[in-house]
Amino acid sequence: MALSFKSPSALKLAQRYKDIFMRLSARIQWPGCAAGRTAPAPCGGLTQRPGAPVSAPAARQGDLMRWPVLISAAALALAGCASAPDRANDPFEPVNRATLGFNLAADRAVVGPAARAYGQYTPQLARTGIGNVLRNLREPVVFANLVLQGQPGPAADAAFRFAANTTVGVGGLFDVAGREGVPRHEADFGQTLAVWGAGEGPYIVLPFIGPSSVRDSAGRFADRYPYPLNWSEDWPGDGVRWTERALRVGEIRLELEDTLARLDDAPGGEDQADIYITLREAWRAERRAFITAPRE
């Protein structure tokens, strides 16, 4: 059904966002918002109105929350001596195992120590703002995929969140849209391809990234285009892009600190084959749950 912006529902949605934006603009108190709050999540923390529809499981809050869930599941499975199905669509297993070994070695030698230094010397308030900015940069990607999946309501949420947080929220430092009850959704092009009927394809492990599939790897490449830092070759420059990537890796890795330690300490944790199989099945279960989650 075509969505007409003259329809009562569309006008009501537009009026709702106009009212929210006017309220935000009328009471900007950024310094007070950043200090003196007793709530556990500062003004920029993710918020979601009770019962609000989401495009993914509530525990999944984008890439920053995806890996802790995955590796926690892997650690628990190892601790329980879980067994995995036989080579389920994994024709590249020898190469994947080698890539996993490289990723684990790189994490122990470089990524982990660098992330811990970042977490130790960066104030929590600054990290909260950085996390908000990184999540805000993903909103155009989420918006584009929700449109392609035929979800106009969540897509409107993503568009408003990006507009409000980029302007009133000072480039995304503060999640003002979340404070007004506009929920955050999650979507990517791998999910969009699945909604369109594309199969998962063989399992693969990407260098520095980790578990994926042929479909999700293609989706990861496509998601680069709506990402704001890729809109222009001349702006904002390679320095900003590399800084953003480093900060994103640091935030993700800090989320994994405890769960990676649990994975290493679990029975069989020194056996790369056990780690490989368990991570593969945990990733597939988490990914399929995300793709098949109820949507509007």
For range 206-230, the mean pLDDT: 95
Amino acid at 98: A
Amino acid in position 61: Q
Number of domains in the chain: 1
The pLDDT assigned to 274 comes to: 78
The whole-model pTM stands at 0.71
pLDDT of residue 40: 34
What proportion of the chain, given as a percentage, has pLDDT over 90?
54
Domain assignment present for residue 52? The answer is no
**Least confident segment among 6-10, 21-25, 190-194, 240-244:** 6-10
Structure confidence at residue 260 (pLDDT): 74
pLDDT digits (tens, 9 = 90+) for 49-67: 333 434 443 334 444 444 4
**Residue at 47 is within a domain:** no
Residue 34 counted as domain residue: no
Q: Does residue 158 form part of some domain? A: yes
Q: How confident is the model at residue 15 (pLDDT cuts 50, 70, 90)?
A: low
Write down the pLDDT at residue 258.
77
Asked if residue 6 belongs to a domain, the reply is no
CB 136 within 8 Å of CB 165: yes
Q: Is the pLDDT of residue 200 over 60?
A: yes
Q: How far apart are CA 141 and CA 188, in angstroms?
A: 7
Structural domain boundaries, residue 222: 63-291
| Residue 92 within a domain | yes
Among 79-83, 205-209, 263-267, where is mean pLDDT lowest? 79-83
**pLDDT for res 47:** 38
Give 233-275 pLDDT, tens digit per residue.
Answer: 777 778 888 999 999 999 988 888 877 777 666 555 555 557 8
pLDDT score of 33: 41
Residue 210 domain-assigned (yes or no) = yes
Average confidence (pLDDT) over 270-289: 84
What pLDDT shows up at residue 226? 96
Distances (CA, A) of 168 to 24, 107, 138, 175: 7, 37, 17, 9
- Has residue 23 been placed in a domain? no
Cβ count near 83 (within 10 Å): 11
Return the pLDDT at 81: 40
What is the per-residue pLDDT for 8?
A: 54
